[in-house]
Structure 1
Amino acid sequence: MIYLDNGISVYSGRGYRLDPKRCVRDCINLISHAHFDHVPSSFNSPAIICSDITRSLIEARTGSSIPCGPCSCETVTLHDSGHVPGSSMFLINGDKRILYTGDFNTRKKYFSDGAKPVKADVLIMESTFGREKYVFPPTEEVFGEIKDWIDDNAARGLNSIIYAYSFGKAQEVISALSGYTVYASRSVIEINRTLGKFDLDISAMPLPEDLKGPDVVVAPSGSRNSPEIKKIFKAGAKSASVSGWALDDGHKYAMRVDRAFPLSDHADYSELIGFVEKVSPDLVFTLHGFDKEFARDIRDKLDIEAAPLKKRHLSLSNFTGDV
């Protein structure tokens, strides 16, 4: 049985909760990574599995103490999902081999060679960018454009403010801008400090009282109205957003920035399709984003049974007779 209920509920020989909203005592709880939308609100269970980096980040970001760490369950193995540092895919070896990707990315990053397909009977996967229009340009090309934009701003005496998630995107941007003077908001610096414990050296300086410039500032978009960012704009600055949604025409205007660059921690459409093909499952469940459209494309293009994950799916046999 696989269905949406307190995260994703899976029964395959025993009970599992994948990215639960709250951890439960009667199941194995699997936490894929430390983005807040995947972090449980409570950890009242002795059976919690995640990577060491994910555990440390959750504890640093929430103040909670959680008993998760290296996998100690003989039916579960962790695999790098390539999404953010510490993010994991989970392979459950129960009645069937079930692979849960969580959020994932197959492109090479500063901390990872990207997610690698693992053979499974059932694949539960994200479909955030599950439409054909969402195919990202090469990462090197995107950062080349970002550097050109920064250089143009500097030539005009302007600071460059890059809005990026505090965890994941911010570190990728900072790593790619080695050679530039990069300052970061407090939330980004705190994440960098935790990652430093795992030999991930992300070099950025805390924002000073007065930024002389022209320099580069990396901060979450939610900080745009903070006194520090307002002061930088007053001194002269241009702003940019880095997001996979930058492929949408309206993203730049919705984010109220001067430029938008298509850079994502998620797999794009071509990666999603290629991943399914290489895993070669009998059945795929999609969730997030364009789940219905992507499930249809899996059926039409790969001839693999697929459906968006819903609440209260009865059993795997509802979809294929021999799975």
Structure 2
Amino acid sequence: METPLLQFNEKGLYCKKADVYLDPWKPVDRAIITHGHADHSRWGNKEYITHHNNVPIIKHRLGDINVRGVEYNEKFVVNNVSFSLHPAGHIIGSSQVRVAHKGEVWVFSGDYKLENDGVSTPFQPVKCHAFITECTFGIPPFKWLPQEEVFQDINQWWAVNREEGKTSVLFAYSLGKAQRLLKHLDSSIGNIYTHGAIENMTEVLRDQVAFPPTTLITRETKKKDLLGSLVLAPPSAHGSSWIRKMVPFVTASASGWMAFRGARRRRAIDKGFVLSDHCDWEGLLTAIKSTGANKIIATHGYTEIFSRYLREQGYDARTEQTQFTGELEELNKAKEEEEMP
């Protein structure tokens, strides 16, 4: 039996014919990286290949690495296997990887979403025979509102808090979600302050995107300066001594998990905004249909439920265990919360 063009082993997703790994979780000689999140771009590889917009991100995160940036749709050949990167729409510089050999085409999606967020290059469907997909939100209850409605709600929430003399603290992941929010915040309402983790990453990306001005919160920042402002902070800042400077403040979280009834209560968050950099249920199905692929491999998320549904629709679908974590820890906590009385 011929070896599949792509297969998973103890180091990650492997193309044996080219001796190349895609988003490996253990050090390898040559790695193609879909995007900058830590579960997909890890330290220790001898050579990294990624989209050029992702190069400053992974250099910021991983340090002095041997990395080559390529354009979207730019073909490069390794040992007679053709590779190219295509927009995934997940975060800035995120890619799907197309792998082709002797007429057989596979696509590894990494993480992706279909909605144009105004920051990352929009998702581009790629025709293939086999599609390796995440399914972080791969159950029918997940259905996203248009982001314009969500951003309108966020800005209105901030405006009301400002009128009441309170600081608005909005929690979001420092890479991806924070920049998406920042792009769509209405800076005419007030000043935008940032936690160091978000400020540092945003500075890396300012050459690529026109963000509104932000001010880093330091020890010298006065509480009176923060009143009425909006503060962007990573979820880890919630409950820390750092946040005490914001009093009186109101908290909110922007996440797909806010769709769960108990998620906001479990996090002790005042307000939840449902906003994700992953596809909802319909988005996943639309993306898969657009590829024309019949062979589907689900890698992380609601894999069993999602692949079973696909098989019922006539796809050759299965799951694969990986070390891509993404937001799975949050998912498990949210599921536990939903099961509580």
**TM-score above 0.5, yes or no:** yes
Post-superposition offset of 1:297: 1.5
Q: Which of 259, 263, 272 in structure 2 is aligned with 1:251?
A: 263
| In 1: Cα distance, 2:202 partner to 2:223 partner | 21
Q: Deviation per CA, 1:265-301, whole angstroms, max 9, x where unpaired?
A: 1111111000111111120101111011111122223
Aligned twin of 2:135: 127
Contact 1:161 1:238 in 2 (8 A): yes
Aligned twin of 2:98: 91
Indicate the SS of the match to 1:36.
coil
More relative contact order, 1 or 2 (CA 8 Å, 6+ apart) = 1
Contact 2:92 2:119 in 1 (8 A): yes
Indicate the SS of the match to 2:76.
coil
Correspondence 1:51 to 2:51: yes
Post-superposition offset of 1:147: 1.8
Structure 1 residue ranges without an equivalent (≥5): 312-323
| In 2: Cα distance, 1:107 partner to 1:237 partner | 31
Aligned twin of 1:318: none
Correspondence 1:307 to 2:327: no
Q: Which of 82, 102, 115 in structure 2 is aligned with 1:107?
A: 115
Aligned twin of 1:8: 13
Indicate the SS of the match to 2:57.
helix
| Residues 290/276 of structure 1: CA separation in 2 closer, same or farther (3 Å cut) | same
Indicate the SS of the match to 1:125.
strand
List aligned pairs for 1:21-40, cutoff 5 A: 21-25=25-29, 28-40=30-42
Q: Which of 235, 239, 252 in structure 2 is aligned with 1:221?
A: 235
Contact 1:286 1:308 in 2 (8 A): yes
Aligned twin of 1:81: 88
Post-superposition offset of 1:53: 2.3
| In 2: Cα distance, 1:201 partner to 1:5 partner | 40
Post-superposition offset of 1:49: 1.3
Q: Deviation per CA, 1:98-131, whole angstroms, max 9, x where unpaired?
A: 1111000110112235212110011001111110
Post-superposition offset of 1:88: 0.8
Letter in 2 for 1:6: K
Aligned twin of 1:60: 60
Aligned twin of 2:217: 207
Correspondence 1:236 to 2:264: no
Post-superposition offset of 1:202: 5.0
Correspondence 1:69 to 2:69: yes
Indicate the SS of the match to 1:97.
strand
Letter in 2 for 1:73: F
| In 1: Cα distance, 2:40 partner to 2:267 partner | 24
Contact 2:137 2:279 in 1 (8 A): yes
Contact 2:27 2:44 in 1 (8 A): yes
Q: TM-score, normalised by structure 1?
A: 0.88
Q: TM-score, normalised by structure 2?
A: 0.84
Correspondence 1:136 to 2:144: yes
Q: Which of 195, 208, 229 in structure 2 is aligned with 1:185?
A: 195
| In 1: Cα distance, 2:15 partner to 2:305 partner | 23
Contact 1:142 1:262 in 2 (8 A): yes
Structure 2 residue ranges without an equivalent (≥5): 323-341
Letter in 2 for 1:151: A
| Residues 7/256 of structure 1: CA separation in 2 closer, same or farther (3 Å cut) | farther
